[in-house]
């Protein structure tokens, strides 16, 4: 089956300040704690896909791309790592080290993940199935695209 088509980019561009840390519910228990995520409640979109990064060697960098339409929600399920967000004008680095915080990213945000601790697990909830056509993998191309879109005030 062919991958779903990615719709043409509607206005506006996203900003780093549209990304936010979301505090997830914590059911603390002497037997071990529990956190849950409900689509459209804690993650602000219907979840269509879950993937995770693990066994990341020290010093490696993942990401290095943006998505035309995909929204994502990133959790440090184990250990810690940094997420560097970039909207073509501003950059912000988040250090994720608690499994009860999720970092929400709208579409059109350039992201890189680095500083992975040993044994860390980066859990990602995504708003759509995998589709290579949704990726922007060149930073100059990303800047051209976002510069061509209106910026919210
Ligand atoms: P990618 O998203 O490009 O990760 P990174 O930017 O950190 O390198 O994914 C790496 C590879 O994994 C890519 O070739 C596509 C594949 N992949 C899937 O098949 N399904 C998925 O859900 C994801 C996220 C990646």
Residue nearest to atom 19 of ligand 1 (CA): 130
Q: Would you state the pLDDT for residue 12?
A: 82
Rounded distance from Cα 29 to ligand 1 centre (Å) = 35
Strands 49-53 and 72-78: unpaired
CB of 65 within 8 A of CB of 135?
Answer: yes
The verdict on the CB of residue 52 being under 6 Å from ligand 1 is: no
Q: Would you state the pLDDT for residue 102?
A: 97
Q: Is 39 helix (H, G, I), strand (E, B) or coil?
A: strand
Q: Would you state the pLDDT for residue 152?
A: 72
The verdict on the CB of residue 51 being under 6 Å from ligand 1 is: yes
pLDDT tens, the chain, 153 aa long: 666 677 666 668 899 999 999 999 999 999 999 999 998 899 999 999 999 999 999 999 999 999 999 999 999 999 999 999 999 999 999 999 999 999 999 999 999 999 999 999 999 999 999 999 999 999 999 999 999 998 776
Q: Would you state the pLDDT for residue 10?
A: 65
Q: Would you state the pLDDT for residue 2?
A: 64
Q: Would you state the pLDDT for residue 122?
A: 98
Is 67 a known active-site residue? no
Strand order in the sheet with 135-136: 91-96, 81-86, 110-114, 62-67, 135-136
């Amino acid at each position: 089956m062919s991958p779903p088509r990615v719709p043409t980019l509607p206005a506006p561009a996203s900003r780093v300040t549209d990304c936010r840390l979301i505090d997830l519910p914590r059911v603390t228990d002497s037997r071990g704690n529990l956190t849950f995520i409900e689509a459209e409640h804690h993650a602000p979109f219907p979840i269509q896909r879950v993937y995770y990064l693990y066994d990341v060697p020290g010093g490696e960098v993942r990401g290095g791309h943006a998505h035309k339409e995909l929204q994502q929600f990133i959790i440090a399920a184990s250990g810690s790592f940094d997420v560097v967000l970039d909207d073509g004008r501003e950059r912000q680095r988040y250090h994720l080290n608690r499994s009860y915080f999720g970092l929400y990213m709208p579409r059109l945000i350039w992201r890189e993940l680095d500083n992975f601790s040993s044994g860390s697990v980066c859990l990602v909830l995504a708003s759509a199935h995998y589709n290579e056509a949704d990726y922007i993998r060149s930073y100059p191309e990303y800047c051209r695209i976002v510069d061509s879109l209106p910026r919210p005030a």
